[in-house]
Amino acid sequence: FTDDVLDPTGVGDGPVAGASSDTPLLEALSAPRSGHMHDIVATLQAEQDRVIRADAGSVLVVDGGPGTGKTAVALHRAAYLLYTERERLARSGVLVVGPSPVFLRYIEQVLPSLGETGVIFTTPGRLFPGVDATGGEDARVVALKGDLRMAKLVAEAVKNRQHVPPGGVDVPYDGAVLRLQQRVVENARTRARRSRRPHNLARRVFVRELTTALTDQVITNLAGGLLDDDEREEIAGYLHADPDVRAVFDTLWPRLTPQRLLSDLFAAPARLAPAAGVARLPADERHLLHRRADAPWTPADVPLLDEAAELLGDPDADTAELAEWDVERDRQADREYAREVLDGLGLTGMVDVETMTAGMAERWYGPRRRRSAVEHASGDRSWTFGHLIVDEAQEVSPMLWRLLWRRCPIRSATLVGDLAQASSPAAAGSWTDALAPHIGDRWRVERLSVSYRTPAEIMDVAADVLAAQDPSAEPPRSVRATGRPPTAVGVDTDQPGSDALVAAVAAEALRAADAVGEGRVAVICPVGLPERVRAALATTLGDVPVGVADVLAAPIAVLTVAESKGLEFD
């Protein structure tokens, strides 16, 4: 039950006086935060509903300041589309990309609470299967790796691994030495590149051409003259299987994984220099990319790994082809055995061979399990989704946009963000700059103008910051007030090694925790300071968690700016 305030002037100086007459909405918005985002069905507003029900045939950018409900609207839009376009999206799924693992934990219950589960949640650092990129690097490196010139760098790096040695190369085989002339290797490389296949698949063409040239040499050295086709094929098979011959092929045109390509490239200046020259990277930028071969992957590396995967193709293509042949051979053997059994029992024509074969496969190998679209998509880089949702979209670099549009080539997407909150050095200055190079004009913007979560007292301070950054920007209008203006606390940190700042932060956090009661308190710090703040709080709080184990369950959460993106606190 709620009291509907028809005359705000008669309420006095309460926490919501004069802010809005929608009392149920304000009571819901003022309730203490929990460790998870809730659905907003009960408090859905008109401008939010318009965005949720927008047509899915294009890219919708939902732009809005802090507290306008961008994330909640995007998730409810996903639920709406999963309901209205169930057949299409059940086959392809929806991809939701959020800024951090903590953020994904925060929003993970919204869609299940609305009855929808056909969604994959991930972060930019986990968009390449098999890689969880958690490493950190300098902001200049992040900006450079997000630049579109990196696409040229990766493409040239792949080409440079297709090697033609000056003067040719010797090939040891069967106690003799064969010779591949430079012209022969060049012709093989040209044929392989003209196949337009990815590097690892084009390698088959390259190896076949060189194997043919070596086979001709072996036959020429044999006494007795020409051989028939079967004998030629047998010699080619011996050459292809010979370890020394294969070692030469691997040197000239190696099988490559994206991880190996980039590790080799960034660790060796001699490899990086020619590729960087084609990509027009000057020496100072080239130096930024140099690192150890065993350095951990960072989120900025993920789009480069994906770019490399597009150009390389499957490194196990030959192995996969042989394995598929083995499976088909086993199936054929099962069919033959089934026919023999049916003949022996006199049931030929009464029982279908394929049905019996399927029963045998289930008996020996277990029943086949039909995997959902989400299960397939989670480990398949080439999977394409029916709808894409990107939170904090203002932070996405040009190279990351290339990756994301590969995941959703039909360009059905909901992008939510606020250009004024951009913090990544690779972020674009406008939605046109961010999207036009990739999808042209196939997008439109909806602006959320009302801040439902952020109180007026906080929004007034934020509006001053926004005005200093961009005088033409319009801050959102808050619908509620708390009656408690923010305070500023000055700390003397002039003394070297002084912990005055940490002590002051810890004291303020404890005071705030007492003030909000059931609610939650955030301490947002620069990188490097959270550990010291947690240690200072632990001396007072004892066994009470301070965000190390589970930041969403902690009454006091200590976070960096990046980690706090998209979360709500009291």
145 and 60 assigned to the same domain: no
DSSP codes of every residue in 243-272: HHHHHHHHHHS----HHHHHHHHHH-HHHH
Please report which confidence band the pLDDT of residue 56 belongs to, taking 50, 70 and 90 as the band edges: confident
HSE, CB side, 13 Å, CA atoms: give it for residue 48: 20
* Whether 119 contacts 111, CB under 8 Å: yes
Q: For residues 93 and 70, give the distance between their C-alpha atoms in angstroms, rounded to a whole number.
A: 21
Residue 469 lies in a domain: no
- Residue at 328 is within a domain: yes
Q: What is the mean pLDDT of residues 138-149?
A: 95
Band of pLDDT at residue 19, cut at 50, 70 and 90: very low
Task: Please check whether residue 506 lies inside any domain of the structure.
Answer: yes
Question: For residue 12, is pLDDT > 60?
Answer: no
Residue 228 lies in a domain: yes
Condensed to tens digits (0 to 9), the pLDDT of residues 158-174 reads: 999 999 999 999 999 98
Check residue 223 and give its pLDDT. 66
For residue 278, name the pLDDT band (cuts at 50, 70, 90).
very high
Greater confidence (345 vs 393) lies with: 393
* pLDDT of the residue at 428: 85
Predicted local confidence at residue 321, as pLDDT: 44
Q: Is 535 a member of any domain? A: yes
Residue 481 lies inside a defined structural domain of this protein: no
> What element of type H or E holds 228?
none
Residue 447 has pLDDT above 90, yes or no: yes
Whether 175 and 238 map to the same domain: the answer is: yes
567: in domain = no
More confident call, 570 vs 371: 570
Boundary-marking domain end, from 328, 350, 374: 374
Q: Same domain, yes or no, for 153 and 279? A: yes
Q: Is 164:291 a contact under the CB 8 Å cutoff?
A: no
Q: What are phi and psi of 78, to 5 degrees?
A: -60, -45
Per-residue pLDDT at 37 exceeds 50: yes
Rounded to whole angstroms, the Cα distance separating 103 from 117 reads 18
Statement to judge: residues 363 and 393 lie in one domain = no
Helices marked H in 35-148 — which ranges? 46-52, 70-84, 86-92, 101-107, 110-113, 139-145
Query: What pLDDT, on a 0 to 100 scale, did the predictor assign at position 322?
Result: 41
Same-domain status, 218 and 364: no
Looking at the predicted structure, is the pLDDT value of residue 452 above 50?
yes
- At 365, the pLDDT band (50, 70, 90 cuts) reads very low
Q: Residue 422's pLDDT is what?
A: 87
- The predicted pLDDT at position 274 comes to 96
DSSP-H helix ranges across 85-165: 86-92, 101-107, 110-113, 139-145, 149-160
Residue 193 has pLDDT above 80, yes or no: yes
Residue 111 covered by a domain: yes
- Give the mean pLDDT of 395-414: 96
Question: Residue 324's pLDDT is what?
Answer: 47
Q: What is the mean pLDDT of the chain?
A: 84
Which amino acid is residue 262, in one-letter code? L
Strand intervals (E) in 398-548:
413-417, 443-448, 450-451, 477-478, 521-525
Q: How far apart are CA 94 and CA 117, in angstroms?
A: 10
CA distance 52 to 408: 19
Q: Is residue 401 very low, low, confident or very high in pLDDT (cuts 50, 70, 90)? A: very high
pLDDT at 570: 73
For residue 201, give the nearest of 323, 322, 312 by alpha carbon: 312
- Provide Rg for the chain, Cα atoms: 31
- Give the integer Cα–Cα distance in Å for 429 and 417: 12
Residue 359 has pLDDT above 60, yes or no: no
The phi, psi pair for 448, rounded to 5°, reads -90, 120
Instruction: Mark whether 146 and 268 lie in a shared domain.
Output: yes
pLDDT for residue 402 is more than 90 = yes
For position 4, what pLDDT does the model report? Answer: 65
pLDDT digit string, tens, across residues 286-345? 999 999 999 999 999 999 999 999 999 998 865 544 444 445 556 666 666 666 665 666
Single residue among 201, 230, 252 that ends a domain in this structure: 252
pLDDT, residue 285, reads 95
Residue 209, pLDDT score? 94
Q: Where are the alpha helices (DSSP H) in 290-352?
A: 302-312, 317-345
pLDDT band at 497 (very low <50, low <70, confident <90, very high): low
Q: What is the pLDDT of residue 55?
A: 87
- 120 and 44 in a common domain: yes
Same structural domain, 166 and 154: no
Q: Is the per-residue pLDDT at 375 higher than 80?
A: no
Containing 483, the helix (H) or strand (E) segment is none
Read off the pLDDT band of 364 (50, 70, 90).
Answer: very low
Within 10 A of 500 (CB to CB), how many other CB atoms are there? 12
Is the pLDDT at 16 greater than 50? The verdict is no
Distance CA 272, CA 153 (A): 9
For the segment 212-223, what is each residue's pLDDT rounded down to a tens digit?
A: 999 988 888 776
Same domain flag for 39 and 122? yes
Is the pLDDT assigned to residue 453 strictly greater than 90? Answer: no
pLDDT 10s digits, 72-118? 999 999 999 999 999 898 889 999 999 988 888 888 888 888 888 88
Nearest to 552 by CA among 532, 535, 568, 534: 568
pLDDT exceeds cutoff 90 at 40? no
Q: Where a domain ends, among 252, 268, 299?
A: 252
Q: In this structure, are residues 245 and 239 in contact, taking their beta carbons and an 8 Å threshold?
A: yes
Residue 549 has pLDDT above 70, yes or no: no
Higher pLDDT: 127 or 359? It is 127
* Average pLDDT score over residue span 29-51: 75
Tell me the per-residue pLDDT of 464-480, one tens digit each, with 9 for 90 and over: 999 998 888 888 999 88
Cα 190 to Cα 142, 182, 308, distances in angstroms: 35, 12, 20
Quote the number of domains for the chain: 5
CA–CA distance, 488 with 184 (Å, rounded to integer): 75
Same domain, 330 and 390: no
* Domain boundaries, position 532: 500-560
Q: What is the CATH number of the domain that holds 415?
A: 3.40.50.300
The residue-averaged pLDDT of 547-564 equals 78
Residues 145, 105 share a domain: no
Cβ atoms of 46 and 36 closer than 8 Å: no
Do 196 and 235 lie in one domain? The reply is: yes
